[in-house]
Amino acid sequence: MVQTRRRGAELEEAILLACWNQLLKNGYQDLTVEAVAEEAQTGKAAIYRRWKTKEGLVLATLRCRSERVRMTIPETGSLRGDVLEMLRNMNHRYAKLLPALFSVLLASYFDPSRLTPSQVHAYILGNRPMIMRAIITHAMERGEIHAMPPQRIIELPYTLIRHEFLMNLSQIDDDVIVDLIDTVFMPLIRNY
């Protein structure tokens, strides 16, 4: 049986999977396009036709992996429970993605000609609907809070968990998640 050459979406999928495997194995700094090409069983030219830089390849890989991590809106019956469930899901689902993402972000930080962290975040996550807005809307419908808070407060749980990920580059202990919600977020949100 003669094996045909992969093209288009099939080849791109193989390259992104190979890049992901290399990121997990070697990290961003030690990832090479040569190793990705070898694992994907293709040539470097096929990769460089799609992505001009290693950073572009890694960003595309992270975006692809992030799109596969589907978050659902928790419905535990309480605002606190919903936010805790959302953060626990993020903690579990994004743990492998985060070290690679932060490596790209740190490289960008030290090279101002690259994307800013907020541009990287927007590229990888796109314009996904914010789960927190839906959680807060449900809390308003239950009468737990009476008004939609400012955007900064809506984003606060994401901001807090991103900070913890950035500082530790690993999964966050559950007691830390509970503490972030109980001592920072819930006291603020109760004013609305």
Tokens of 121: 């975040």
Q: How many CB atoms lie within 10 A of CB 192?
A: 15
- Output 171-180 pairs: Cβ under 8 A, ≥24 positions apart: 171/91, 171/92, 171/95, 172/91, 174/88, 174/91, 177/84, 177/87, 177/88, 177/91, 178/84, 180/87
pLDDT for position 102:
67
* Predicted TM-score of the model (pTM): 0.69
Q: What is the CATH number of the domain that holds 46?
A: 1.10.10.60
In contact, 154 and 140? CB cutoff 8 Å: no
In contact, 135 and 71? CB cutoff 8 Å: no
* Residue 35 counted as domain residue: yes
Q: What are phi and psi of 73, to 5 degrees?
A: -85, 115
* Residue 3 counted as domain residue: no
Does one domain contain both 47 and 79?
Answer: no
pLDDT for position 1:
40
pLDDT for position 3:
47
pLDDT for position 7:
80
Which domain covers residue 91, as residue numbers?
72-189
Does one domain contain both 47 and 78?
Answer: no
Does one domain contain both 92 and 130?
Answer: yes
pLDDT for position 110:
62
pLDDT for position 113:
61
Pairwise CA distance, residues 58 & 15, whole Å: 10
Does one domain contain both 48 and 84?
Answer: no
* Residue 2 counted as domain residue: no
Q: What is the mean pLDDT of each run of 10 residues along the chain (192 residues)?
A: 66 93 83 94 94 88 76 90 93 72 64 68 65 93 95 91 82 94 95 88
pLDDT for position 67:
72
Pairwise CA distance, residues 182 & 192, whole Å: 16
pLDDT for position 8:
83
Does one domain contain both 24 and 114?
Answer: no
Does one domain contain both 82 and 149?
Answer: yes
Does one domain contain both 87 and 31?
Answer: no
Tokens of 67: 């799109």
